[in-house]
Amino acid sequence: MITIWELVYRLTVDVLGIWKPYVFPSPIEVFKTFKHLLSNNILIVAIIASMQRIIIGYLISLILGIVLGLVIVRYKYIDENVSALILGIQTLPSICWLPFAVLWFGLNDSAILFVTTIGSTFAITIAIQSGIKNVNPLYIRAAKTMGANGLNIYWNVIMPASLPTIVSGMKQGWSFAWRALMAGEMLFATVGLGQVLIVGRDVADISQVVAVMIVIILLGLLVDKLIFGKIEANIRYRWGLNSN
Amino acid sequence: MGLIIENISKKFISKHNQMHALEEVNLNINDGEFICIVGPSGCGKSTLLNVVAGLEKSCEGRVCLNGNVINGAGPDRAVMFQESALFPWIKVIDNVEFGMKMAGVPREERRNRALKYLKMVHLTKFQNSYIHELSGGMKQRVALARALTLDSKVLLMDEPFAALDSQTKTILQIELQQIWWETKKTIIFITHNVEEAVLLADRVIVMSANPGKIKKEFNIQLARPRKFESVDLTYLVADIMKELISEVEKVAKFEYDSDWNMEADTILSDIDNNLGAGL
Ligand SMILES: Nc1ncnc2c1ncn2[C@@H]1O[C@H](COP(=O)(O)OP(=O)(O)OP(=O)(O)O)[C@@H](O)[C@H]1O
Ligand SMILES: [Mg+2]
C-alpha cells in the first residue's frame, strides 16, 4: 500500500505536476517528518499531553456517567423528566459544546476537558440506563429465590447482566471523547496532538499533518482494539455470543 | 406443619381485560410430600407456584410454611424455572455456589458443597464451563444442583423438564426421584405430562381454568420405584387424563370462541371459512 502511495505521489506530483507538493505528501517525506517530530520530542510531548487529557476526561465521564445512570434508574421521577433530555442532548456533537465551555471556563484546558467529558458522560449514562432496564427479570427472580436482596442483587445480578451494554456504551463514550478532544485541541490548545496538527497546517507542511493524523488513528485503534476489544471479546465468550 | 395454601385468589387486571387466574385455592401439603399439579395451559399453575415462591402477591388468602406466613421470596423455598435461569456471566460452579454465596457460606465450604451437588447430577466435568456451553438437559441439571444447594425443605418446580427430549427427561426423572428419596424434601412439581405426574407424585392435583381452581385430587399409592410400563400406572394415567381432557376442551372452547370441537379436522375448514368470509 505504501508503495502504491509512493508511486501515485511520483506520478501526480513529480511527473504530471497535477498536484503541488504541499497538497499531496510522499510516504518518505511523512516518515522523515515523523522521525523529526520524534527526535525533537514534539510528538512525545504532544502524545503525553493528549493522553493525559483524555484519561482525566474519560475517568470523570465514567464516574459522572455511572452515577447519573444509576440515579436515573433508581428514581422514576428523574427518569421521566431527564431521560428524554439526555437523549436529545446526546444527538449534539460534543464539539458543539465548545462555545458554551469557553464562555464558562475561558480559552483554556478546562474548556477542552469539558467538551471531552460531556459527550462521553451521556453515552455512558444512556448505556447504564438501558443495560439495567433490559436485564432479564428471570435472573432477578431466580436470585431472589436464592436469598439475594437489595444491594446483593444489584451487585451480583443486575451489574454483570447489563455489562455487555455498559461496555459498548463505554467504548462509544471513549470514541466520542477522543474526537472531541482532538477537535478541542485543534482550536486552542498550546500543546497536544491536535495542536501539532494545526501547526502543520499553519506552516503548510502536509507531511506533518499526515504524520500526526496517522498517530491519532493508531492511538485510537490501540485503545479501541486492545482495551475495549479484549473486554468485549471476553464478555462475548462468556455469554456464548461468538459465532464460531 | 407443612405447607398450607389457604384461600388463594389472584386477579390480573390489564387495560383490556380482567383475568381471574386463581380462585380460592386451598391445599395442605405434608412435609416430604411430592405433589404434582397438572391442568390446561393458562389455568394458573405457574401463578400458584409463584405465589408460593413469594415472587407474586396473591390478592386474597395466604401461604404458610411451618406456621409462618410467606411474604416474599426466600431460600427456604428453592425454585426451578422452566427455563434454567442460570447466569451466563459466571461459570457452572459459580452458578451452583450462588445461593450459598448469598447466605455467606465461606468460600472453601461453598466449593465443596457445590461439587457434591454437581456430582449428584453428574456434571463435575463441566464445573468450569460457561452456561452456553451446556445442552438443554445439562442446564436443567445445573439448575437442579443450584436449587438443591439451598438445602431448603421445599422445592418448587415449574415444568422443569418440559423442553427436554424424552431420554434426557427419563434420566432426570429417575435422578429427581432418587434425590427426593434421599433428601425428603417437599416438592411441588408442575407438568403437562400426566404420566410424569403419576410416576413422580404422592398426590396429583388437577386444576381447572377460568377461574383457576383445584378440580380434583388423586392419591397415587403405587409402590416405588415406579415404572412407566406398569399396568396400575397406565390405569391411573387414563383416569386422570379423562379429567384433564375435559378441562382442556373447556379452555379450548373458551379461547376459540366456541367454534372448537375435539374432532380436529373441522377446525381447519372453520379457519378456511372465516378467511373466505373476510375477503
Ligand atoms: N403478569 C401477568 N399479567 C396478566 N396476566 C397474567 C400474568 N401472568 C399470568 N397471567 C394470566 O394468568 C393466567 C394464568 O397464567 P399461568 O402462567 O399461571 O398459567 P399456567 O397454568 O402456568 O399455563 P402454562 O401451562 O401454559 O404454563 C393466564 O391466563 C395468563 O394470561
Ligand atoms: Mg406455566
CB atoms within 10 A of CB A37: 21
- The pLDDT, as a whole number, for residue B125 is 93
Q: Residue A2: inside a domain, yes or no?
A: no
* Residue in A172, A177, A88, A97 with CA at minimum distance from that of residue A128: A172
Q: At a CB cut-off of 8 Å and minimum separation 6, what does B23 contact?
A: B9, B211, B212, B213
Q: What is the ipTM of this complex?
A: 0.84
Q: At a CB cut-off of 8 Å and minimum separation 6, what does A48 contact?
A: none
The minimum CA-CA distance between B27 and chain A, rounded to whole Å, is 22
DSSP SS3 for B1: coil
Cα B53 from chain centroid? 11
For B137-192, the three-class secondary structure string (H helix, E strand, C coil) is HHHHHHHHHHHHHCCCCEEEEECCCCCCCHHHHHHHHHHHHHHHHHHCCEEEEECC
Ligand 1: atom nearest CA of B49 is: 18
B233–chain A Cβ distance below 8 A for any pair: no
Indicate the pLDDT class of residue A37, thresholds 50, 70 and 90.
confident
Q: B14-56, pLDDT tens digit by residue?
A: 888 888 889 999 999 999 999 999 999 889 999 999 999 999 9
How far is the C-alpha of A1 from the C-alpha of A3, rounded, in Å?
5
Residue ranges covered by each domain of chain B: 3-76+153-276, 89-151
Mean pLDDT score of chain A: 87
Using CB atoms, pick whichever of A142, A147, A240 lies closest to residue B88: A240
* Residue in B89, B183, B112 with CA at minimum distance from that of residue B144: B183
Q: Which residues of B touch A131 (CB under 8 A)?
A: none
Q: What is the pTM of this model?
A: 0.83
How far is the C-alpha of A157 from the C-alpha of B94, rounded, in Å?
13
Q: Which residues of B touch A232 (CB under 8 A)?
A: none
Query: B155 - beta bridge partners?
Result: B78, B187
How far is the C-alpha of A200 from the C-alpha of A218, rounded, in Å?
18
Q: Which of the residues A135, A146, A149, A151 would you substitute to probe the B interface, choosing the one with the greatest number of B C-beta atoms within 10 Å?
A: A146
C-alpha cell at A48: 503525553
Query: Which residues lie with the beta carbon below 6 Å from any ligand 1 atom?
Result: B 12, 14, 19, 21, 39, 41-47
How far is the C-alpha of A53 from the C-alpha of A111, rounded, in Å?
11
- When divided into structural domains, chain A yields a total of 1
How far is the C-alpha of B220 from the C-alpha of B236, rounded, in Å?
8
Q: Residue A229: inside a domain, yes or no?
A: yes
Which CATH superfamily includes the segment(s) B3-76+153-276? P-loop containing nucleotide triphosphate hydrolases (3.40.50.300)
Using CB atoms, pick whichever of A138, A145, A147 lies closest to residue B83: A138
Longest dimension (CA), chain A: 79
Q: Residue A13: inside a domain, yes or no?
A: no
Q: Residue A186: inside a domain, yes or no?
A: yes
- The pLDDT, as a whole number, for residue B239 is 92
- The pLDDT, as a whole number, for residue A11 is 79
Q: Residue A243: inside a domain, yes or no?
A: no
Using CB atoms, pick whichever of B79, B87, B132 lies closest to residue A145: B79
Q: Residue A144: inside a domain, yes or no?
A: yes
Q: Residue A215: inside a domain, yes or no?
A: yes
Q: Residue A137: inside a domain, yes or no?
A: yes
Mean pLDDT score of chain B: 87
The mean pLDDT of A165-194, rounded to a whole number, is 89
B254–chain A Cβ distance below 8 A for any pair: no
Place of cell 501547526: A199
Give residue A212's domain range.
Answer: 27-238
Q: Which of the residues B81, B89, B96 would you substitute to probe the A interface, choosing the one with the greatest number of A C-beta atoms within 10 Å?
A: B89
- The pLDDT, as a whole number, for residue B261 is 57
Provide the CATH number for the domain around residue A100: 1.10.3720.10
